Amino acid sequence: MRVVIAEDSVLLREGLTRLLTDLGHDVVAGVGDGEALVKTVADLAAQGELPDVVVADVRMPPTHTDEGVRAAVRLRRDHPGIGVLVLSQYVEEQYATELLAGSSTGVGYLLKDRVAEVREFVDAVVRVARGGTALDPEVVAQLLGRSRKQDVLAGLTPREREVLGLMAEGRTNSAIAKQLVVSDGAVEKHVSNIFLKLGLSPSVGDHRRVLAVLTYLNS
């Protein structure tokens, strides 16, 4: 896949580049701030060489507040086909919600500590590039725990909430079954119940797994 990395720490940016390159992926650009990220992607798009995914830090120069996530939101609006995975030192609910509030495909929010888990990180980048989701377990836990969202999830059982959290991390039914030490059939039943309780009919297509997580965010 073709990747653009936006990270103001040169050491981390080079480390991510080396990691992805060693695994056969093409890092087509590396930048250090949000404006450079937006410009770089626009230039690549003009050349007909749009990247598959962007990996961006939430906080970048000049203010080190929200430049990265704002650039990510802009890219999702201007180039819907690009996957966007943002990295953050901490769970910042406002930024996570803003990023997830648009399209339900090709988006991820991971804590930087997750980068140390090389296999998980690379799997997340690939999943987002392919139009999937990758949400850090800590992000999921905080978002699902919001008191103002309890009404949306009130009908779910504790086990269904647990399954929903694992779905939000991007795990397959088989992976969820392994994590919870239950059968694949049991997970499929829980997932079906979640769709039913959240009002997600089969007509919405294959994105129901993502929408099941995002429904309460947009309510």
Q: Tens digit of pLDDT for each residue in 71-109?
A: 998 998 899 889 999 998 877 777 777 777 666 578 888
Please report the pLDDT score of residue 219 as a whole number: 43
pLDDT at 5 over 70: yes
Task: Output the CA torsion sign for 50, 208, 109, 118.
Answer: negative
- pLDDT, one tens digit per residue, over 163-209 is 888 887 778 899 899 999 999 999 999 988 888 887 776 654 445 67
Strand ranges in the chain using DSSP code E only, listed in sequence order? 2-6, 26-31, 53-57, 83-88, 107-111, 133-135
How many whole angstroms separate alpha carbon 78 and alpha carbon 70? 12
How many whole angstroms separate alpha carbon 130 and alpha carbon 142? 26
How many whole angstroms separate alpha carbon 37 and alpha carbon 43? 10
Contact 37, 87 (CB under 8 A): no
Strand ranges in 136-218 using DSSP code E only, listed in sequence order? none
Please report the pLDDT score of residue 216 as a whole number: 47
Confidence of residue 2 (pLDDT cuts 50, 70, 90): very high
Confidence of residue 215 (pLDDT cuts 50, 70, 90): low
Please report the pLDDT score of residue 75 as a whole number: 92
Q: Which residue has the tokens 């088989």?
A: 174
The CA-CA-CA angle for residues 39, 45, 49, to 5°, reads 120
CB neighbours of residue 204 within 10 Å: 14
> Residue type at 51?
P
> Is 0.75 surpassed by the pTM of this model?
no
Please report the pLDDT score of residue 176 as a whole number: 92
Please report the pLDDT score of residue 69 as a whole number: 87
Please report the pLDDT score of residue 112 as a whole number: 86
Beta bridge partners of 180: none
Burial class (CB in 10 A: 0-12, 13-18, 19+), 104: buried
- pLDDT, one tens digit per residue, over 105-152 is 788 888 888 777 888 899 999 999 998 888 887 776 666 565 445 566
pLDDT at 46 over 80: yes
Sheet of 53-57: strand order equals 26-31, 2-6, 53-57, 83-88, 107-111, 133-135
Q: Which residue has the tokens 């039943």?
A: 189
Better-predicted residue by pLDDT, 150 or 25: 25
Confidence of residue 48 (pLDDT cuts 50, 70, 90): very high
